Structures are given as structure tokens and as C-alpha cells.
Structure 1
Amino acid sequence: MTEQVAVVGSGYMGGGIAQVIALSGRQVVLADVTAEQAAQSRERIIRKAQDFEARELLPLGAATRIAEGVVAAASIEEAVAAADIVEEAVPEILAVKHETLRRISAAAPSTAVIGSNTSTISIASLAEAVERPERFLGVHFSNPATFIPGVEVIPHAGTDRAVVARVIGLLAECGKTGVEVPDVTGFVLNRLQYALFTEASRLVEEGVATAESIDTIARTTFGFRLPFFGPFAIADIAGLDVYEFCYGSLGEAYPERFAEPAALRDRVARGELGVKSGRGFLATPPERSAELVAYRDRAYAAMAVLLDEIGPAPVDY
């Protein structure tokens, strides 16, 4: 039997999540503060799907599948009454989330998995409002949920391991990549994202560069690599000894901002320099270097073609 999923909170994020789940062939029940709001949101996500389909961003038939798969409920209790999985996507206000989660866990079947789309709030603190908290975890989609593939899956200390595996499996069937991360402030995504934003803001404050210049540099240099390689793969390819040298220069100029990470220093001390030594943060052997370079070149060339095809982003500075 196909799982039934309830999405509680039908705004921009909740609506996108409902689209994703409906496209996997599952029945989605949408709820919001009123029945009218849920019904209006259902119509909105269908219209958006029709637009995506017309622009060839979703396959033919996607809007029909969403229209057939998503229904609006009269209340939160009605939405979750027969749900196998519930995703809460209400505003990032602890009191609002607590009240919503209390209602969900009181009305949903005792076996229902309950997830929260929070991007900042501790999962353990949210779990305080959930009956049988072992079935509760964070399931953090990124905006826009319809198209961004990665999803942070965040158990708290009491989450049942089978629940984590079940959610990651569901995400895979929805075409998403679920990655388990620990319940720490900011999780992983926002710690990385805000670290970059902090340094970018400092560069503007110090008069080093304009916002436009920084955005351009980020997009056209290291950001160009990120769809294909994460920061550790990039470092391994460049060479960790090179990174250590650069940290020496940066640390001398900005000691409060660029202390060399112990994880880097320890690997270099052991001779683990990245691809050229066969081990760094990853374990890509030197004999795969030619294959790696060929992939890199093909990927970057394809990205350049794509960017030329779609043109510059419509932002003004």
C-alpha cells in the first residue's frame, strides 16, 4: 500500500514539499490554519505545477499527477488522522511549532512518523511537544523544495534509527538526496551558508569589494565547482599541502578569522595530501587522477554552456 503523507503548513515550502511527494505517486493531504487556506494553497501549487510543466521544468503530466494526488483537509486533525508520515512546515516560531506538533501527535496514528522542516530550531527542543518522540526528527528541505535535491535529515538523541532509514528511503523515492546530520545549532547547511555570508559581508564592510564583485567572483570561481565537488573534494584535488600554505598566509593577516583547522594540519603531518598521495579527507587514488580531471573538464564545460543558455540572473546591484 502506498504511504499517505500529510503536510501541515501549506505555504511556499509546504506547497513545494507537497508537490515533490505527490510526484512520487503518494497521496498528500494538505492542512493549514483554516480549511480555506489549505484549499487555496492546493489550487496554487497546481497552478505552479502547470506553469513548471509549460516551461518544461517538470515532465508532461506532472500537474495532473499533483492535482490528483493532493487534497486539502478541513483541519490539521483531519489531515493527519490516517497519515503514515507527517511533515510539519509552519513558521519558524517555537511556540507555533510546539502547538502544531502537539496537535499532530495527538491526532495522528501512533505509528506515524513526524518530521519538521525547521532550518534553525533544535530538534530535541521540538521533540518535547511530540507524543512518542522516538518517531520524530527534522526533515529540512531547501527552497525551492520542488527543485533542490538535498534534504537534511536530523534525528534527535531519542529518534528510532528505523525512522531515519525510512525517511531517507522515502526521499530517495521522491528523487531527493537525504543526508543525515546531527542535531546541532544550524545543522550543516546553514553553518556553511552563513559562514560564507559572514566573510562576504566583512569584505563589503572593510571596503575590499562590492556586493556585485563578490557575487560575481563566488559564481564564476569556486562556486562554479560546487555543483560537482564539495569543499573536501576540492581541497583534495588542489592538495592539502597547498591549503596549509594558504592558511599560513591568511592566518598571518587575519588571525582571528583564519586559523588552520586541526583536521587539515593533522592530515598534512601524516602525509595525507589528497589525490596526489591517495588519501586526504577522501581516498581517491592517484591512478584515478586522469579520470577525475576528465570528469572535471566535462562538468565545467557543460556548466558554461548551461549558463550561457539561460543567461544572467535578473538581479540588480
Structure 2
Amino acid sequence: MGGGIAQVLALTGAHVALADVSGHVAQSNYERLLTESEDFSANGLFPEGATDILRETLWPAEDVEQAVRNAAVIEEAVPEVLEIKSDILSRISAAAAPDAIIGSNTSTISIGALAKAVQNPGRFLGIHFSNPAPFIPGVEIIPHEGTDASAVEAARQLVQDCGKSRAVVKDVTGFVPNRLQYALSREAVRVVEEGIATVEGVDTVVRTTFGFRLPFFGPFAIADMAGLDVYNFSYKSLQAAFPDEFAPPRILTDLVEQGRLGTKSGGGFLNIPSERIPDLAAYRNKAYVRLQKPLEELGPPPVD
């Protein structure tokens, strides 16, 4: 993750130092990132000339202290162990300029808990890229209760400069993508354990049904287009079989009671003017057809 994030940042033209457990390892990673970049460029995944940019903007540091000494923004991406992260964040904040922004790429550990290891914790927050960082477009920005507004704005600008999408979310366990991702993973495993479908069957259903919509629409837009009355009924049907897990959410039932049923009524979770609904439907249909074409060109993934 750290190497991929370094590539993303360095391709903006920023000067990026790599630090690892030793200068030797940092040098090895630097060379690996250049080799990767050449391969990515050859396959059209990085722009032409990307490797030359990285040669000018990336450099391997002897240690963490050297890497952060003159940095304006620092991103920590060590293993997901509280003690390891706390130790490295303590070293970073002791060696960095007092106003340097410090971000963590943690995917599950509380930002507030990590902030205890940081001097001047107002400059600390989560900046969570997803793997592989060069190719996944979304980044979570996660302030803790004491994060300064200026640090949040600096992180937003950094992510924008990288050409990424960003969302500011609260500091809770799992944040947003992992909370949603692992909810799906939990149910997928249960479906297999209960003999409802095979592993291959679940993967096929997810990627070719509701998962097919997700590059274009989030769950709230999808619900609005399906109809919130339909969702409410479906929740009640599931509740009959799974009473502790699928009770209709209060926010959903409130909207249905108000007659806000999604696009069919002009308002639901989102407010979509009725005159825009034909455009939305046309976009949706075009998007799904166009997505199918590159999938056919790529062919099936190389998994059994």
C-alpha cells in the first residue's frame, strides 16, 4: 500500500520520500516502484513518461526521521497493528515539522486511538486509500474529534490533487468501506455455509447483479430507482426469515410513510427532480451496456 500511495503522490509532481525498516529496504522498494511503473506504462495503466516523473520525484530515505524532516504531508502505511502504528507515528511526529500534516492509511483502527501517539494531534487524521492505490479512485478522510479543520481541508486538497474522489467520514471502527464490505462478506460466507449456493455461484451473482450497478450508483441511488416501497416490502419479507437482522430501518419507513418513494415520486433518499428522471434512466441503461463491453474484451478473470 505504501508504495502504491507513493506512486500516486509522486505522479502529481510532489517530491516523495520512501521510508521503511531500513535504507536498504527503502532503496529496494524504490527500484521496484520504477520497474512496476514501466510495466504499468507499457500496458496503458500509467501515462506515458510516468517512470521519468517518478525518477525525479521519488527518493529512498535512510530512515523515517530523514524522510519526514522537511515534509509538509506524511502518510503512514505500516501493518494494521496498533502498537506498530503508534510507535512509528511517535517517531514521525517527533522528527517532523510541528505543522506537518500526518495521515494514517489504517482501514480499521480508531484514528482517535492512534492520535494519542502523535505530538500536536490536531494535525493528524486518517487518509485511507484502497488497494491497489494507483487504480482505486476513492479515498476516505477520517478526522478524530481533535483534528483541526485546516488539516481536513489540506487532506481534501491533497486527495483532489491526486485525481481521486474523497469522502469525509466519522472515526468509527471499520469506517465506511470495510463496514459495508465485511457485512457483504459475512452474508456471502453464511450463504455458502448454509448450502444455498457455491462460492463460485455467490461470486457470479454478486458481480453480475447488484454489484454490476455499483461503479455508477451507490446503495441510496439504487434504492431510490428501485422504489423505497419495494425496499420496505423486501425488508419485511427478509425479516420474517431473519428477524434480528433485517427489520426495516427507521429512516426507510419514515420516507415511505411520507410518500417519498424514490424516483417514482420525485424524492427519496436523494432529491431528484422529476424532469431529470428520464435522463437518469437513459444514463443508467447506457452505463450498464457500456460496462459490459470492456468486461467482454477483458474476458474472465484468471481464477478457478
TM range (shorter): over 0.9
Once the two structures are superposed, the pairs formed by residues 146-295 of structure 1 within 5 Å of their partners are 146-295=134-283
CA distance in structure 2 between the partners assigned to 1:246 and 1:76 by the alignment? 53
* 1:182 aligned counterpart, secondary structure: coil
CA distance in structure 2 between the partners assigned to 1:109 and 1:52 by the alignment? 34
Match among 97, 105, 111 for residue 109 of structure 1: 97
Q: Which amino acid aligns with 2:160?
A: A
- Displacement of 1:256 in angstroms is 2.0
Q: Deviation string for 1:115-170 (max 9, x for gaps)? A: 00000100000000000000000011100001001011000000001111111111
Higher mean C-alpha displacement, 120-129 vs 285-294: 285-294
Please list every run of at least 4 consecutive aligned residues from structure 1 whose deviation after the TM superposition is greater than 3 angstroms: none
How much identity, in percent, do the aligned residues show?
A: 58
CA distance in structure 1 between the partners assigned to 2:134 and 2:173 by the alignment? 25
Q: Residue 124 of structure 2 aligns with which residue?
A: 136
Q: Deviation string for 1:68-120 (max 9, x for gaps)? A: 11000001000000000000001111111111001000000011000000001
CA distance in structure 2 between the partners assigned to 1:171 and 1:275 by the alignment? 32
- Displacement of 1:253 in angstroms is 1.5
Match among 60, 76, 86 for residue 72 of structure 1: 60
Q: Deviation string for 1:231-257 (max 9, x for gaps)? A: 000000111001011111111121122
CA distance in structure 1 between the partners assigned to 2:165 and 2:22 by the alignment? 32
Q: Which amino acid aligns with 2:177?
A: L
Gaps of 5+ in 1: 1-12
Alignment check: 8 A CA contact 1:22 1:65 kept: yes
CA distance in structure 1 between the partners assigned to 2:105 and 2:7 by the alignment? 15
CA distance in structure 1 between the partners assigned to 2:133 and 2:258 by the alignment? 42
Q: Which amino acid aligns with 1:217?
A: V
Q: Which amino acid aligns with 1:254?
A: F
- Displacement of 1:66 in angstroms is 1.1
CA distance in structure 2 between the partners assigned to 1:46 and 1:264 by the alignment? 50
Once the two structures are superposed, the pairs formed by residues 287-306 of structure 1 within 5 Å of their partners are 287-306=275-294
Alignment check: 8 A CA contact 1:168 1:177 kept: no
Alignment check: 8 A CA contact 1:153 1:168 kept: yes
CA distance in structure 2 between the partners assigned to 1:50 and 1:58 by the alignment? 8
Q: Which amino acid aligns with 2:65?
A: E
> What is the aligned-residue RMSD (CA, Å)?
0.7
Alignment check: 8 A CA contact 1:277 1:285 kept: no
Q: Which amino acid aligns with 1:42?
A: Y
- Displacement of 1:287 in angstroms is 1.6
Q: Deviation string for 1:201-242 (max 9, x for gaps)? A: 110011000010010000001000000000000000111001
Higher mean C-alpha displacement, 282-291 vs 184-193: 282-291
Q: Residue 121 of structure 1 aligns with which residue?
A: 109
Q: Residue 95 of structure 1 aligns with which residue?
A: 83
CA distance in structure 2 between the partners assigned to 1:251 and 1:189 by the alignment? 25
CA distance in structure 2 between the partners assigned to 1:53 and 1:33 by the alignment? 29
Q: Which amino acid aligns with 1:78?
A: Q
Superposition TM-score, scaled by structure 1 size: 0.95
* 1:275 aligned counterpart, secondary structure: coil
Alignment check: 8 A CA contact 1:276 1:285 kept: no
Q: Which amino acid aligns with 2:183?
A: A
CA distance in structure 2 between the partners assigned to 1:90 and 1:40 by the alignment? 17
Matched, 1:307 2:271: no
Paired positions, count: 304
CA distance in structure 2 between the partners assigned to 1:24 and 1:127 by the alignment? 28
* 2:131 aligned counterpart, secondary structure: coil
Alignment check: 8 A CA contact 1:85 1:113 kept: yes
- Displacement of 1:285 in angstroms is 1.7
Higher mean C-alpha displacement, 215-224 vs 282-291: 282-291
